[in-house]
Amino acid sequence: MSGPSTDFSPWLARWGLEPDGWPFSTVFTRSVLLPVRQAGRPAMLKLATYEEEVRGASMMAWWDGEGAAPVLAHEHHALLMVRAEGPGDLKALVAEGRDDAATAILCGALAELHRPRTRPPPQGLIRLDDWFRSVERAVPQGEVFARGHALAQALLADPQDVRPLHGDMHHGNVLDFGGLGWLAIDPKGVLGERAYDYANIFRNPDMATPLSPGRLERQLDLVCRLAGLEPRRMLQWVAAHAVLSLAWCLEDGMYPDRSLEFIDLAFARLDA
């Protein structure tokens, strides 16, 4: 069975859009995007090619511009959203030595995304339990997966503050929308414990920063203060998420060096 169409033409006609740049695709999910204008307003047209990206489009529409890029139109795998044109860049902030400032912006975006809504969330959100089956399948591959699986199962067995999550929060998924502020893009459509959404921040935005001396401890203190989270449980989610990322790396045939180093760091902090 073929996947969703990546032909922009029907959506350009349906939503009155004019191309305003070259199309491109995302690295891992291979969704296709096209900068456009609608009645002169800059926007981004995104066509999802995977189910998690379809769920993400539904999440964007559900957030309705509250913490995420405002959605101008949405229909199944097609999403039209306001285009980010502000000059800010969170990766650049970190490169300038303002790592804590970037983390504070990410935490602020998550706080808005996690805010309770009266409207029901989209149907079909994937549960964290389903994601962590990748770790369970990897247990025969080594002790790191056995420990990660045990840790994840303990957390999943007693979930706290469950709500719809972004699922892929990092420095490239919160953009500067100028007067609208820093807003999220590219959610995965996940349901689970709120603390999980902060775990990916610790492993980003590059290969070196997460492993720099004292960074894990400093970010743990900052994130927990800003998000109102208990430090040890947050650290447990950080370690569990790192093992999950390692399991995904192996499934995708990718070299897992950074994940292994960071896992050692997180487990050492838990054991201290």
- List, by residue number, the catalytic residues: 168
Q: How far apart are CA 155 and CA 132, in angstroms?
A: 11
Q: What is the dihedral of CA 67, 194, 124, 45, to 10 degrees?
A: 30
Vertex 130 angle, CA 127 and 133, to 5°:
150
